[in-house]
């Protein structure tokens, strides 16, 4: 990979929260590269650290109880520890964020169009009227039928799908290089989700926007992602192309996760090969591999923290598991994988 | 159908709309649920699937129609007979956080339906609770703790133990695994299928997740704007839905399969305002196959093949490939 391909580079990122019991290691040394024009899916379950990671990329979870370490570089510009004024400039202009809960993210007192226009004017010196008409255009581009009418509506007058489109329109207002979408379709019904996913792909294709998609839904990943990073207990445990990670998983957690999804076609299994136990939630983390307490293949070697490393020669399919190849083949045969 | 345990005829639930009109949340639902089956009920927000589940338990009051269960019309039961019948009908809720009283011990939460609906003694209840907590994989010692000490998946197990406490014949599971992470969801789904099999439970399994429904249900019913629009066996349904809405719904689910992703056509537009539904077929405003007939005449739910009923003038088997 050449440096020119990387638009956002994360190196050894740590995020810790002060909680009554001590320090919660939400993100525990993550390396991640978002390449220009790709959709990279960051997958994980509750508490995996995927949202803490995405928030930290543009300094959205600063505060006295949050400790962020490591490096996030946007086209060579360091964002960790950058002054708030500088981050505000980056946010919305270069790196835009779309949240799951559009109703909470939108201002209930302002009309949808005005909020889009405001985002435009925050980063570009254009007359109010120009911004307003550009806002209506953007609402049309994100697939809202009757964009002029939608622009005059207040958020509560719009449906969930429409509100999410308004959020995406705001995200696109300044043609950002990077769109961070945190569970953007999770609150939506499946037919509306399909429309919004189609829109995300269209944005990537037509604007060349790089998208970091944070999701727990492996179907969504299969549908839109070019590459996938799987997160567990604050660390990336596997990373590769969509096909590598979803259809040739290497890490026992990825295998277990995929096996837990009830399939939509093929034979209906009598029982789902569920992963026993639950993910760590407190401040205490196992030393060594974080998945070890739930892993059916754990052995003595798992007491040391595994590095995210390349398994095969030429590819960039990485995983953090010390399991020997033979045991891994057994794991797959045990039906943990799809 | 043989051995019908619960059936509804013309079941209707109406709410007062914001503009003063009546919103029909359930439109004259006719449904037969067989003894021992799991019926999956699917549809999008606002389709009435939760309202149907709640109406069966009389948590919401039907405004018309009847619910036949164990020889009585549930809509007419009052007082002690209603309480006694309620012991046979229990519910597992979606939200494992909101549906358990945080101040009470788990043992008391689980015992409540036994004490209230079955009139069990405290000692009987305590014995039963220990067994139930074992059954759902928590262990009897969980009884002394409070709900907040448990994870989401464990709380859902508590909710299941409570629902089973009065030994009901019929359980409504309303999005019972939807709030759980997928690895935990699989554990709870396995538990539910074991319980249904071992205890001969009949279950109405309400979910927006078609993969989960395919895993657990024997039959599938699809709702749209308060109506059942298709009902079929699980295998028939997933092999090829006959209602254009069912088909669009299934096609919208992002599928975890290799090869290039679906270049699919999501259904057009959004759900119409339930207070102001279209004339004729309720789905016609989003249907790629709608004709003049669909604009004028409301289709009946009719049997198109053995075990399959569809509310459509032109069910998909009879529609030509090209809509235009």
Q: How far apart are CA A126 and CA B185, in angstroms?
A: 50
Confidence of residue A338 (pLDDT cuts 50, 70, 90): very low
Q: Which residues does B216 contact at the CB level (< 8 Å), separation at least 6?
A: B38, B40, B189, B192, B193, B196, B205
Confidence of residue A313 (pLDDT cuts 50, 70, 90): low
* Chain B residues in contact with A275 (beta carbon < 8 A): 183, 186-187
For residue A220, give the nearest of B208, B250, B254 by CB distance. B254
**Mean pLDDT throughout B62-76?**
94
Whether residue A231 has pLDDT greater than 80: yes
A315: phi then psi, degrees, rounded to nearest 5: -90, 170
B103: phi then psi, degrees, rounded to nearest 5: -90, -10
Q: Which residues does A42 contact at the CB level (< 8 Å), separation at least 6?
A: A32, A50, A53, A54, A212, A213, A214, A215, A229, A231
Q: How far apart are CA A37 and CA A226, in angstroms?
A: 10
Answer yes or no: is A41 within a domain. no
Helix (H, G, I), strand (E, B) or coil at A231: strand
Cα B176–Cα B177–Cα B180 angle in degrees, nearest 5: 135
Last-in-domain residue among A175, A209, A238: A175
For residue A324, how many other CB atoms are within 10 A of its CB?
A: 12
* Chain B residues in contact with A338 (beta carbon < 8 A): 256
Q: What is the overall mean pLDDT for chain A?
A: 89
- Name the residue among A45, A52, A46 with its Cα closest to residue A26: A52
* Strand ordering across the sheet containing A66-74: A22-35, A6-19, A66-74, A77-78
Which structural domain range is residue A301 located in?
254-336
Are A257 and B182 in contact (CB < 8 Å)? yes
Whether residue B324 has pLDDT greater than 70: no
For residue A292, how many other CB atoms are within 10 A of its CB?
A: 20
Q: CATH number for the domain including B25?
A: 3.40.50.300
Answer yes or no: is A21 within a domain. no
At residue A246, the pLDDT reads 95
The interface pTM score, or ipTM, of the predicted complex is 0.86
- Tell me the two tokens of residue B173: 């599971």
pTM comes to 0.90
Answer yes or no: is A82 within a domain. no
Q: For A151-167, how does the pLDDT look when each residue is reduced to its tens digit (9 = 90+)? A: 999 999 998 888 989 99
Contact pairs from chain A to chain B, CB under 8 Å? 131
Q: For A95-132, how does the pLDDT look when each residue is reduced to its tens digit (9 = 90+)? A: 999 988 777 889 999 999 999 999 999 988 999 999 99
Question: What's the structural domain count of chain A?
Answer: 2
Answer yes or no: is B244 within a domain. yes
- Name the residue among B53, B52, B58, B105 with its Cα closest to residue B83: B58
Radius of gyration of chain A (CA): 21
Whether residue A3 has pLDDT greater than 50: no
Q: How far apart are CA B86 and CA B80, in angstroms?
A: 10
Q: How far is CA B298 from CA A150, B227, B247, B293, in A?
A: 31, 11, 19, 9
Answer yes or no: is A159 within a domain. yes
Question: What's the structural domain count of chain B?
Answer: 1
Are A159 and B254 in contact (CB < 8 Å)? no
Q: Based on the number of CB atoms within 10 Å of its own CB, is B3 exposed (0-12), middle (13-18) or buried (19 or more)?
A: exposed
Q: How far apart are CA B289 and CA B268, in angstroms?
A: 12
At residue A145, the pLDDT reads 84
Q: Within 13 Å, how many C-alpha atoms sit on residue B275's CB side? A: 8
For residue B262, how many other CB atoms are within 10 A of its CB?
A: 18
At residue B322, the pLDDT reads 46
A22: phi then psi, degrees, rounded to nearest 5: 140, -145
B108: phi then psi, degrees, rounded to nearest 5: -70, -35
Q: How far apart are CA B197 and CA B204, in angstroms?
A: 14
* Chain A residues in contact with B269 (beta carbon < 8 A): 145
At residue A337, the pLDDT reads 39
Answer yes or no: is B124 within a domain. no
Residue B97 contacts A where some CB pair is shorter than 8 Å: no
Which structural domain range is residue B51 located in?
4-88+168-254+264-318
For residue A271, give the nearest of B153, B190, B211 by CB distance. B190
């Amino acid at each position: 990979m050449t440096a020119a391909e990387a638009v956002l580079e994360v190196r050894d990122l740590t995020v810790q929260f002060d909680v009554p019991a001590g320090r919660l290691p939400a993100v525990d040394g993550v390396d991640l590269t978002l390449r220009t024009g790709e959709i990279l899916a960051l997958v994980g379950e509750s508490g995996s650290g995927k949202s803490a990671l995405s928030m930290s990329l543009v300094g959205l979870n600063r505060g006295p109880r949050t400790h962020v370490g490591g490096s996030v570089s946007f086209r060579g510009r360091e964002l960790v520890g950058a002054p708030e004024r500088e981050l505000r400039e980056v946010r919305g202009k270069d790196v835009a964020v779309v949240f799951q809960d559009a109703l909470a993210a939108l201002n209930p007192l302002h009309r949808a169009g005005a909020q889009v226009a405001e985002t435009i004017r925050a980063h570009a010196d254009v007359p109010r009227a120009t911004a307003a008409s550009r806002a209506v255009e953007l609402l049309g581009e994100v697939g809202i039928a009757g964009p002029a009418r939608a622009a005059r509506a207040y958020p509560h007058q719009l449906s969930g799908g429409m509100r999410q489109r308004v959020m995406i329109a705001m995200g696109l207002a300044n043609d950002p290089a990077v769109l961070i979408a945190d569970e953007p379709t999770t609150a939506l019904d499946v037919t509306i989700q399909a429309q919004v996913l189609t829109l995300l792909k269209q944005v990537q294709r037509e604007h060349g926007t790089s998208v970091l998609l944070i999701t727990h839904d492996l179907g969504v990943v299969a549908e839109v992602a070019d590459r996938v990073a799987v997160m567990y207990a604050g660390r990336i445990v596997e990373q590769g192309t969509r096909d590598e990670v979803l259809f040739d998983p290497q890490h026992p957690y990825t295998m277990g996760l995929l096996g837990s999804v009830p399939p939509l076609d093929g034979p209906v299994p009598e029982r789902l090969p569920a992963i026993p136990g639950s993910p760590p939630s407190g401040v205490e983390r196992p030393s060594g591999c974080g998945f070890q307490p739930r892993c059916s293949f754990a052995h003595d070697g798992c007491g040391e923290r595994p590095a995210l490393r390349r398994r095969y020669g030429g590819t960039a399919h990485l995983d953090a598991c010390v399991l020997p190849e033979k045991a891994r083949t057994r794991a797959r045969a045990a039906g943990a994988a799809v | 159908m043989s051995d019908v345990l619960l059936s509804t005829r013309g079941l209707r639930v109406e709410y007062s709309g914001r503009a003063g009109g009546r919103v029909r949340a359930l439109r004259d639902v006719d449904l037969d649920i067989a003894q021992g089956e799991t019926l999956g009920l699917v549809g999008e927000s606002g389709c009435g699937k939760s309202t149907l589940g709640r109406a069966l338990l009389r948590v919401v009051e039907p405004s018309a129609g009847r619910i036949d269960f164990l020889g009585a019309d549930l809509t007419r039961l009052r007082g002690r007979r209603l309480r006694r019948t309620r012991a046979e009908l229990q519910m597992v809720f979606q939200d494992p956080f909101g549906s358990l009283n945080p101040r009470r011990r788990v043992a008391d939460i689980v015992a409540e339906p036994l004490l209230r609906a079955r009139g069990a003694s405290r000692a009987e209840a305590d014995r039963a609770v220990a067994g139930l907590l074992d059954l759902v994989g928590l262990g009897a010692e969980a009884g002394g703790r409070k709900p907040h000490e448990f994870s989401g998946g464990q709380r859902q197990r508590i909710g299941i133990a409570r629902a089973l406490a009065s030994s009901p014949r019929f359980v409504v599971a309303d999005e019972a695994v939807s709030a759980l992470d997928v690895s935990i969801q699989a554990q709870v789904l396995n538990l539910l299928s074991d319980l249904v099999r071992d205890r001969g439970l009949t279950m109405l399994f309400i979910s927006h997740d078609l993969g989960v429904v395919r895993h657990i249900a024997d039959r599938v019913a699809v709702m749209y704007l308060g109506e059942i629009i298709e009902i079929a066996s699980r295998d028939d349904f997933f092999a090829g839905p006959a209602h254009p809405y069912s088909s669009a719904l299934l096609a919208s689910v992002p599928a975890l399969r290799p090869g290039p992703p679906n270049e699919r056509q999501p259904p057009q537009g959004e759900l119409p305002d339930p207070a102001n539904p279209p004339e004729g077929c309720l789905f016609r405003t989003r249907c790629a196959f709608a004709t003049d007939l669909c604009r004028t005449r409301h289709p009946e739910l009719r049997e198109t093949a053995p075990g399959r009923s569809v509310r459509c003038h032109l069910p998909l088997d009879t529609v030509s490939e090209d809509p235009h």
